[in-house]
Amino acid sequence: MKTFRYTNLDISKVIEESIENPSKVYNITHIADFDGIGSASIIRHYFKIPIQNILFCDYTPEKIKEVLDIVKSDNKSKIIILSDLGIDEKTIPLFTDLINHLKATNSKIIWLDHHNWTDKAINDIGRRCDYIIGGDNGKYCGAELVYQNLIISYFKDTNLGEKLSNIAHKTDFNLPNKGETINNLIEAITYINNHHLNDLSKLVEVISEGNIDSDRIKDYANQYIIEEKDSIITLKKNIFKKQLSNKIIVGVGFANFIESNKAASIIKDTTNCDISIFIGPKENKISIRSNDKVNSIEIASILGGNGHERAAGASVDKKVKLNIKNPESIHSYANYILKLSEKIYENKRVTKNEKSKSI
Ligand SMILES: [Mn+2]
């Protein structure tokens, strides 16, 4: 489903209300990359919301429940801004609960997202939001939607918002030549996600003050680089491929602690694949990247996830016990993923079209 938009409120009034009353504003943002972190930093910079009102969320039902329970424990009227978070079919009931709570407390929900939404997600959740932009968006990432909808027309000095949303665009659309500052940000966020989740709030504080070149960010990036050396060796030893009868090549690779785009590019370089599926056994994370012959969402949705046509994700089923040091567990899951890919993509007529490349 392509980009959609529903609004039934006067957004300028809600923005005024948010500036006057920052403690009633919550931001639920994507935990894993600069798009989510940049969105939160923009919101924090302009609306001055308390740092504890910024809640970092991934796509696992456990994490979503944890975050939504925090929001629901505040029974006052609130303004909830969701940024760079999509919705998987299995998490629709959790968000239905949230919206019921928000309606009961006379709260507002603003959702700014650029991932694929199914018809069911749009009907059950999208249409009940007060202000929403959702659906696979070939032009703008989450932080850009935050900047364009909540900042640009309402604040005098829009420099930092513009700067952070431009950085998010480069990272989310994985544009080349990002430069050292942006690479450091990407690596720092990956390292913090892997080891120091509590530090995400500090990172948002630093970025929301405009200190994107801070030593703290460089330190985290350096630690990522040190760890990445071993992870890349592991990944290269754990790459599998299969060529389907229609010539589509599927590559699957396993390693802990590598940034998803980087891992996908290593799998692609090794296998020359059309779709690369990177699996992080420790985080139970599946990251899918594909070229224009293959739609990543198709396998992601069967694995319980979602995303974009060229970049999607899912989680490894909790019943599957993966351990990078246990070759049997890796081999059997690789086989499962390759067979599943064959089933999904073998009979696809390969067509070329230009679609969204963001994450
Ligand atoms: Mn994004």
How many angstroms separate the alpha carbon of residue 158 from the centre of ligand 1? 21
How many angstroms separate the alpha carbon of residue 142 from the centre of ligand 1? 5
Domain 4-223 CATH (choose: 3.40.720, 3.10.450, 3.90.1640, 1.10.8):
3.90.1640
Q: Which residues of the chain have pLDDT under 70?
A: 1, 349-359
Q: In whole angstroms, what is the distance from residue 208 CA to residue 203 CA?
A: 8
Task: Sketch the domain layout of the chain as residue ranges.
Answer: 4-223, 238-345
184 burial via Cβ count (<10 Å: 0-12, 13-18, 19+)? buried
Q: For residue range 169-211, list pLDDT tens digits in order.
A: 999 999 999 999 999 999 999 999 999 989 999 999 999 999 9
Residue 348: per-residue pLDDT: 73
How many angstroms separate the alpha carbon of residue 341 from the centre of ligand 1? 24
Residue 358: per-residue pLDDT: 64
How many angstroms separate the alpha carbon of residue 38 from the centre of ligand 1? 10
How many angstroms separate the alpha carbon of residue 358 from the centre of ligand 1? 7
How many angstroms separate the alpha carbon of residue 114 from the centre of ligand 1? 7
How many angstroms separate the alpha carbon of residue 331 from the centre of ligand 1? 31
Residue 269: per-residue pLDDT: 98
106: left (phi over 0), alpha (psi -120 to 50) or beta: left
How many angstroms separate the alpha carbon of residue 32 from the centre of ligand 1? 9
How many angstroms separate the alpha carbon of residue 328 from the centre of ligand 1? 34
How many angstroms separate the alpha carbon of residue 84 from the centre of ligand 1? 5
How many angstroms separate the alpha carbon of residue 243 from the centre of ligand 1? 30
Domain 238-345 CATH (choose: 1.10.4160.10, 3.30.590.10, 3.10.310.30, 2.102.10.10):
3.10.310.30
How many angstroms separate the alpha carbon of residue 89 from the centre of ligand 1? 18
How many angstroms separate the alpha carbon of residue 338 from the centre of ligand 1? 27
The yes-or-no answer to whether 4-223 and 238-345 have a common fold is no
Residue 2: per-residue pLDDT: 87
How many angstroms separate the alpha carbon of residue 139 from the centre of ligand 1? 11
